[in-house]
Structure formats: structure tokens, C-alpha cells
Amino acid sequence: MTDTRFSFGQCPSEIITLAVLAQCPEGYTMTLRSQGEWKALSDAWNQGIDSHLEAMTVRSTADSSSGSVNVHPEELCTLLRRFYEDGSDEAWSLRSCILSTLGIEEV
């Protein structure tokens, strides 16, 4: 996928889903070492069913002891939306970093 640029928080979920399915069909994996990033992930992850009627399910996994995270391709948009809505530096940084690894830039 070529680099794609959007205004911050405005990348369509369809673009994200296509990118993650093409590049990470088994799930988006990452390792978090920062406590701040882990808190942002935990806050976004543990909301349950939100106002969009979306939730993180057992298809995605996160292990706080190792920092290992695997987000199911169909749930990555939910997590990224929640990072955007959170508004913290850590959440926005995670969103930007994840999107950049998928060839998507938000400015």
C-alpha cells in the first residue's frame, strides 16, 4: 500500500481495515513497554460495548506481563477510534504510530 495522508482522526475505517487485512491478516501485533502507553491501551480496551455498539473481544489479546498485544484486524478500527476519542498524548501517539506502520499518515 502506498502512503496515504489524512487530517488527524479522519482516516476512514475502510482504509484502515484494508491496510491491516493486507499487511497483518493474523492481527496487528505490537509490544508496549511504556506504562503510559499501557494505560492508554487499557483505557481504550476495557470500555466494553461503547456508543458505537463496538467492543474489543477475545479475538484480540493483550498480556500486561509481557507487553504483547495482538489486535484482530476487524477490531483495530475500534481501538484506533477510542485512542482518538481519549485525547491523551499517549493514546494519540499510539494511534499515529500504528497508522504509520500501515502506511497511513494523519497530520
What cell numbers appear for 58 in the block? Answer: 477475545
Confidence of residue 3 (pLDDT cuts 50, 70, 90): low
**Which pLDDT band holds residue 4 (cuts at 50, 70, 90)?**
confident
Q: Are 106 and 18 contacting, i.e. CB atoms less than 8 angstroms apart?
A: no
DSSP-derived secondary structure letter, 63: E
Please report where in the chains the cell 484494508 appears, as a residue. 18
Exposure of 79 by Cβ count < 10 A (0-12 exposed, 13-18 middle, 19+ buried)? Answer: buried
* Percent of the chain's residues with pLDDT above 90: 95
pTM above 0.85, yes or no: yes
Q: What mean pLDDT comes out for the span 62-91?
A: 97
Give the span between the Cα atoms of 106 and 70, in whole angstroms: 22
pLDDT exceeds cutoff 60 at 2: no
- Parent domain of 91: 4-106
How many independent structural domains does the chain possess? 1
